[in-house]
Structure 1
Amino acid sequence: MRFLSECPWKRLQELRALIPNVPFQMLLRGANAVGYTNYPDNAVFKFCEVAKENGMDIFRVFDSLNYVPNMLLGMEAAGAAGGVVEAAISYTGDVSDPMRQKYSLDYYLKLADELVKAGTHILCIKDMAGLLKPEASKLLVGALRDRFPDVPIHVHTHDTAGAGVAAMLACAEAGADVVDVAVDSMAGMTSQPSMGAIVACAKGTKLDTGIALEKVFDYSEYWEVARGLYAPFDCTATMKSGNADVYENEIPGGQYTNLHFQAHSMGLGNKFKEVKKAYTEANKLLGDLIKVTPSSKIVGDLAQFMVQNNLTRAEVEERADELSFPLSVVEFLQGYIGIPHGGFPEPFRSKVLKSLNRIEGRPGASLPPLDFKVLEEGLRAAHGEDYHP
C-alpha cells in the first residue's frame, strides 16, 4: 500500500486465482503481525482471519527474540483463522561450538518442546544470517528429528557466507523435510542457496528431489532477464560477493544488504568494515541477541550510532547514562518487543533508562482491543465513500 499504492488483499486474490494448487506461505511476527510494533490481540487475530480468507495457507510464526508469549499469540491467531501453523525458531550462535553456550543445542530443544506442545503443525529453523554450518545443521536437525519424529521440519537459511548448499544438504541428511532455496539467478549472497545446485547434488541419491534440472535452468533464465530490469536497485550494485565474516558479526542477510547500501549512500562505503565490527560490539552491549527484524535493526542502529560518534564498546558502557541513544535501543531496553533470552544487560539497561518506565511481560497484553468500526469510519472520512475495506 505504501510503496506500490495497491491493495495487498487484491494482489493475494489475483495470485490465488492464477495459482490455485500451490500453498502460499507468509511470515507472521507473532504479536507484531506484519509490523514492527505490538498490536492489540484482536487486531492480530483479525489480520490472520482476513489473510486466510484472501488466499493465505501457511503462517510461519516467529519472534525476533524467540520470546514464546509473543509466538504463542501469533500461533493461536493463525490457527483460529484455519491456517497451517509453522512455528519458527530463529537461529543464532553455533550449536557445534562448545564455547558458545548461551544459544546451545539444549536451548533450541527446550524452545521446540514448548512450540510443539502448543500445537504447531510444522517446526521451522529460521537462520537469517546464514550461520548454520553443516556440522551444526546435523546436530540441530538430527536432535529435533529424534525428539519429534512425527513433526515436519522446515529449514530456512541465507547464503551470505557461501556455505548454504552444504548446510541444507546436511539438514536434509539429518532428517529435514523441507529446505528453502532460490532459483539460481536469484540465489547466493544474502538470498537463499541455489536451487539448481541442491537439485544436482541430490540427484541419484536417497534425497533425489525428482525435479528435472532442465526445468530449473528454464525457470532461472526467466528470472535472470527479470532481474536485469531491476539492476539499479540490485544489491550487487554495491555488493559483489558473499562474505564469511557473518560468522563473526552475525548480521542477517537482508540487513547486511541494507547496511551496505546505507554506508555507500552516506559516503561511508570505506567505513563499512567499521560498521560491521561495531555491529558485533553493539550485539554484545545488548546482551547477545537473536537478530531478526526488529531486533536486528536495534543492533544495527546502535552500531551506526557508535561509528557516527566514534565510540568504542567500553566508552558506550562507561557513558551510558549521558549518551542520547537511538529510540529503538531505548524502547528495546524498556521491553517494547519482549524479553530476551537471559534477560536484559545490566547495569547497561538501568544506566540508559534511568527513571523511564519498564514493561513487564508480553507488551501487547496490556493494549486495549482495537475498535474496527471506529477505524472504518475514520478511513471513510479520510478517503471518501470509495473506500472498500
Structure 2
Amino acid sequence: MLDDPAFQAGDLSTSFIDERPGLVRSNVSKDRGTKILNWLADVTVNQPNGPRSAAVRPADKLPAVDLQQPAPAGSRQRLLELGPRGFAEALRAQTALAVTETTFRDAHQSLLATRVRTRDLVAVAPHVARTTPELLSVEAWGGATYDVALRFLGEDPWERLASLREALPNIAIQMLLRGANTVGYTPYPTEVTDAFVQEAAATGVDVFRIFDALNDVERMRPAIDSVLATGTTVAEVALCYTGNLLDPAEDLYTLDYYLGLAERSVRAGAHVLAIKDMAGLLRPAAAERLVTALRREFDLPVHVHTHDTAGGQLATLLAASRAGADAVDVASAPMSGTTSQPSASALVAALADTERDTGLSLDAVSDLEPYWEAVRRLYRPFESGLPGPTGRVYRHEIPGGQLSNLRQQAIALGLADDFELIEDMYAAADRILGRIPKVTPSSKVVGDLALQLAAARADPHDFAENPQDYDIPDSVVGFMAGELGDLPGGWPEPFRTRVLQGREVRIGVTPLSVEDRGALEVPGAGRRRTLNHLLFPQPTEQFETIRELFGDLSVLDTDDYLHGLRPGQEHAVRIGRGVEVLIGLEAVGEADESGMRTVMVVMNGQLRPVFVRDRGIAVTTVASEKGDPARPGHVSAPFSGVVTLKVEEGAVVAAGQAVASIEAMKMEAAITSPVAGRVARLAVPTTQQVDAGDLLVVVEDQG
C-alpha cells in the first residue's frame, strides 16, 4: 500500500481498498522450510536407506573447469545445422568411432536401480559439456528414469530433462523410447505418443532410440512417425538382440531375421540403426558378422549398445568397430562393467592413435571418474548386488537394466537368498513364454513369472503343462492375450490356450477422455502434467502427494535426502534463489506408546519440535494367521505384498476364480481359489500388507 502512487499523492477515498482487492488478499506462505524439515526429520528417524556411509561429497571431486567459458560447439550444433538426415549421413561418413555416454541413464539404471537423482546429474553435466564435447550424445532420459523419478525420487522427469538441456547446450541428448508404450509398460493411443515426442523434443531430446519389445516395426511406426514429424530430431530404430546368431542350432534369431527387421526399420524412416543388446549376449564374432551385414545392405549408420554382464563386451565393441560400426555406447569407468556398459576410458585408450580414434581425450574422460566414483558410493544402498561379471547371463539372459531391479524385487518378496533359483526360473519362464526378446516390458513379463514360480517353489514343467492350476501374474495373462503384440516365433501352444481358458482379457489402448485429448493439444506444463497422469497415474499421484507434503526435495543434498540429519552438524539447504535455511539436529526423543518420536531441530536459530512416527516400532503385534497347505480351501498369499480381496463372505466361487489380487514392486497377480465352494471367512481386511503364506480367504468345498 505504501508504494501505491495514489496513496503517496494523498488521493484517497472510501473506495480505495475496494478498488485494490490485492491489499486484502491473503498471501499464503509456501512454508518450504517446514516441509523440507518434515522430510529430513522423518528420514532421520526411520532411516529407510540404511545407515549413512562415510562417503565423500561428489562435488569435491569435480574436475577443475572454467564454467564461465561457453561450452564448445558439439553434436547438437551439428544436428541443428545439418538436420536429422544430414546428421546421420555425416555420422556414416566419418572415420572416427562415435561415442554415446550412458552414465546419465542406462548405467545407473543397470547398477543402482535408476536411483541417481537429477541434482547429481546436473552437477557434472557442465563439466561433461566442456571436457568431452566430441561425444555423439549423452543418453540421459527415458527407459525407467521417468517411472522411478515419480515413484521413488519425488521428482518430475520433465524438470530433469529441462535442467540437463540447460547444462548440456552443445551435446545431443538421447532418450530411450519404448515404441507405442512411450516410457510405460502398455500401449497408449497415438495421440499420447505424438504429444510425448513433441514435448520431449521441445524440452530437450535430440535423439530418440526407439524399440519394440518384440521387434515389431509396425508397433514402432507411430513413434517413428512422431519423431520424423518434428523435423529436428533423430529417429534411431533399434533391433533388439537375443540368443546367439553364431549357433548352428539357432533357427529363430538368425542373421536373416535381423536383416529383415532392419529392412522394415529402414522402410519405416529410420535415420540410424541400433543394435540393442540388452543382456550382453552379443559375442565379438557375432557383432562382426551382424555389423558387416547391416552396413553392406543399408546406407544408414549402425550404433551398437550392449551390457557387460559377462565381462567381455569391450571385445564386442572393438569387433564391431573393426566391422565398421559408426557409434557405440560406453559408461564412465566407475559406473561401467557388469550390468552396465563397457568402460569409456578402456574404449578410448584401446582406439587411441588408430584409424578409429574416438577423438575423445583419455585425460578428460579419466578426470570425470572420481566424481562418478563418489556418486556410486553415495548410492550404495541401491547396488544391484552383482559384485563381478557372471557367465550365467548366457544361460538366463536377464537384461542388464532388469537385473538390479529383479534383485530389489527378490528382497521385497523375501527371496534374496534364492537369487540363483530366480535366475533358473527366469530361463524356464522364457522357454515357457516362447523364447522372446527380453526388454521392457516383455522382460517384466518374464521376470514376473520367474518370481511367481520361485516364490511358489513350482516345477516349471508342471506349470507349463497345467497353468490353470496356478496363480498367474496379470502381466503374463495379458501377454498371452496379445497385449504386447505377436511373438517372433509364434505362440506357445497349448500353454497359451490353457492360460486364457475361462479368462476374459481386454486388450487394446484405453481411449482418451475429451479433457485429456484437449490437454494433449496444448504444449507446455499442462500437457506434461497430463502425460504424467496418463502414463503413470498412481506414481504421479504419489509424486504430487510427496511434493505437497514435503515440497521440492531436489534442493536437498543427496546424503541428507537419503539419510537425514547428523547430530552436531549444520545442514544448509537452498530452497530458492537467494533463500537458504540452516538446519541442525539437537535430539531425537524416546517413542511414546503410539510410536511417535519428537525430533528437536534448530532451523535458522530457532528451536523447533517435529513429531515423527517411528515405523520400525510395532505398535500392535498381532500375529497373522497362516494358511494350512493341507487344507484345499485355505487361500494364502503367494508372496509378500499388498493384497486386495475381491469377494465377500457367503459368496459362491468357482475353482480358478480370482478371490484376491496382490501387488508388490510393480508386479501384480491374481490369487485364485483352488476349489469351488462358498466363502466361509475373510481372514484379512479388504486391503492389507501381507507376508507369504498368510491366510486370506477360507472357502468351504461344496464338491
Assess same fold via TM > 0.5. Answer: yes
Q: How far does residue 321 in structure 1 lie from its aligned partner after superposition? A: 2.4
| 1:300 aligned residue (447, 467, 472) | 447
Aligned to 1:116: 266
| 1:90 aligned residue (240, 244, 262) | 240
What is the CA deviation profile of residues 298-327 of structure 1, one whole-angstrom value per residue up to 9, with x for unaligned ones?
111111111122222220122222322011
What is the CA deviation profile of residues 174-230 of structure 1, one whole-angstrom value per residue up to 9, with x for unaligned ones?
111000000111100100001111111112222211222211211112211222222
Q: How far does residue 260 in structure 1 lie from its aligned partner after superposition? A: 2.6
Contact 1:335 1:359 in 2 (8 A): no
Question: How many residues were matched structurally?
Answer: 379
Aligned to 1:343: 490
Q: Secondary structure at the match of 1:38?
A: coil
Task: Classify 1:84/1:296 alpha carbon distance in 2 versus 1 (closer, same or farther; 3 Å).
Answer: same
Contact 1:92 1:291 in 2 (8 A): yes
Aligned to 2:287: 137
Matched ranges for 1:153-232 at <5 A = 153-232=302-381
Name the CA distance, whole Å, in 1 between partners of 2:506 and 2:168. 44
Q: Secondary structure at the match of 2:152?
A: coil
Aligned to 1:100: 250
Q: How far does residue 337 in structure 1 lie from its aligned partner after superposition? A: 1.3
Name the CA distance, whole Å, in 1 between partners of 2:469 and 2:475. 17
What is the CA deviation profile of residues 327-369 of structure 1, one whole-angstrom value per residue up to 9, with x for unaligned ones?
1100000111111112221110000101435679xx44x8457
What is the CA deviation profile of residues 83-105 of structure 1, one whole-angstrom value per residue up to 9, with x for unaligned ones?
21000111101111111121111
Name the CA distance, whole Å, in 2 between partners of 1:268 and 1:189. 22
Q: Which moved more, 1:243-252 or 1:304-313?
A: 304-313
Name the CA distance, whole Å, in 1 between partners of 2:486 and 2:266. 21
| 1:147 aligned residue (297, 307, 316) | 297
Q: Secondary structure at the match of 2:391?
A: coil
Q: Match of 1:352, as an amino acid?
A: V
Name the CA distance, whole Å, in 2 between partners of 1:77 and 1:165. 34
Q: Match of 1:314, as an amino acid?
A: H
Contact 1:92 1:127 in 2 (8 A): yes
Name the CA distance, whole Å, in 2 between partners of 1:372 and 1:65. 28
| 2:420 aligned residue (273, 278, 288) | 273
Q: Secondary structure at the match of 1:311?
A: coil
Contact 2:338 2:388 in 1 (8 A): yes
Q: Which moved more, 1:281-290 or 1:70-79?
A: 70-79
Aligned to 2:606: none
Q: Match of 1:37, as an amino acid?
A: T
Contact 1:41 1:369 in 2 (8 A): no
1:316 aligns with 2:463: yes
Q: How far does residue 54 in structure 1 lie from its aligned partner after superposition? A: 1.0
Matched ranges for 1:8-157 at <5 A = 8-82=157-231, 83-148=233-298, 150-157=299-306
Task: Classify 1:244/1:9 alpha carbon distance in 2 versus 1 (closer, same or farther; 3 Å).
Answer: same
| 1:373 aligned residue (518, 523, 527) | 518
Name the CA distance, whole Å, in 1 between partners of 2:237 and 2:428. 30
Q: Secondary structure at the match of 1:151?
A: coil
Aligned to 2:409: 262
Name the CA distance, whole Å, in 2 between partners of 1:48 and 1:373. 17
Q: Secondary structure at the match of 1:180?
A: strand
What is the CA deviation profile of residues 98-140 of structure 1, one whole-angstrom value per residue up to 9, with x for unaligned ones?
1112111100000000001111000001001000110110111
Q: How far does residue 7 in structure 1 lie from its aligned partner after superposition? A: 3.1
Higher helix content, 1 or 2: 1
Q: How far does residue 261 in structure 1 lie from its aligned partner after superposition? A: 3.3
Aligned to 1:3: 152
Contact 1:137 1:171 in 2 (8 A): yes
Name the CA distance, whole Å, in 1 between partners of 2:166 and 2:413. 43
Task: Classify 1:14/1:368 alpha carbon distance in 2 versus 1 (closer, same or farther; 3 Å).
Answer: closer
Q: Secondary structure at the match of 1:14?
A: helix
Name the CA distance, whole Å, in 1 between partners of 2:512 and 2:158. 26
Contact 1:87 1:124 in 2 (8 A): yes
Q: Secondary structure at the match of 1:292?
A: coil
Q: Secondary structure at the match of 1:179?
A: strand
Q: CA RMSD in A?
A: 2.5
Name the CA distance, whole Å, in 1 between partners of 2:167 and 2:345. 25
What is the CA deviation profile of residues 255-288 of structure 1, one whole-angstrom value per residue up to 9, with x for unaligned ones?
1222233334544333211111111111000000
Contact 1:334 1:357 in 2 (8 A): no
Q: Secondary structure at the match of 1:43?
A: helix
Name the CA distance, whole Å, in 1 between partners of 2:479 and 2:283. 30
Task: Classify 1:285/1:120 alpha carbon distance in 2 versus 1 (closer, same or farther; 3 Å).
Answer: same
> Structure 1: any 5+ residue segments left out of the alignment?
none
Aligned to 1:331: 478
Q: Match of 1:296, as an amino acid?
A: S
Q: Secondary structure at the match of 1:243?
A: coil
Return the TM-score normalized by structure 2. Answer: 0.51
Aligned to 1:233: 382
Q: How far does residue 55 in structure 1 lie from its aligned partner after superposition? A: 1.3
Q: How far does residue 68 in structure 1 lie from its aligned partner after superposition? A: 1.8
Q: How far does residue 2 in structure 1 lie from its aligned partner after superposition? A: 3.6
Q: Secondary structure at the match of 1:304?
A: helix
Q: Match of 2:450, as an amino acid?
A: A
Task: Classify 1:266/1:355 alpha carbon distance in 2 versus 1 (closer, same or farther; 3 Å).
Answer: closer
Name the CA distance, whole Å, in 2 between partners of 1:16 and 1:197. 28
- State the identity as a percent: 46
What is the CA deviation profile of residues 144-195 of structure 1, one whole-angstrom value per residue up to 9, with x for unaligned ones?
01111x2011011010010110001111111110000001111001000011
Contact 1:190 1:256 in 2 (8 A): yes
Task: Classify 1:304/1:14 alpha carbon distance in 2 versus 1 (closer, same or farther; 3 Å).
Answer: closer
Contact 1:42 1:369 in 2 (8 A): no
> Structure 2: any 5+ residue segments left out of the alignment?
1-149, 521-525, 534-540, 549-703
Q: Match of 1:133, as an amino acid?
A: R
What is the CA deviation profile of residues 39-74 of structure 1, one whole-angstrom value per residue up to 9, with x for unaligned ones?
111111011011111111111110111122211111
Q: Match of 1:29, as an amino acid?
A: R
User: Which entry has the higher C-alpha Rg, 1 or 2?
Assistant: 2
Contact 2:313 2:342 in 1 (8 A): yes
Contact 2:478 2:505 in 1 (8 A): no
Q: Secondary structure at the match of 1:3?
A: helix
Contact 1:335 1:358 in 2 (8 A): no
Aligned to 1:352: 499
Name the CA distance, whole Å, in 2 between partners of 1:226 and 1:259. 22
1:246 aligns with 2:393: yes
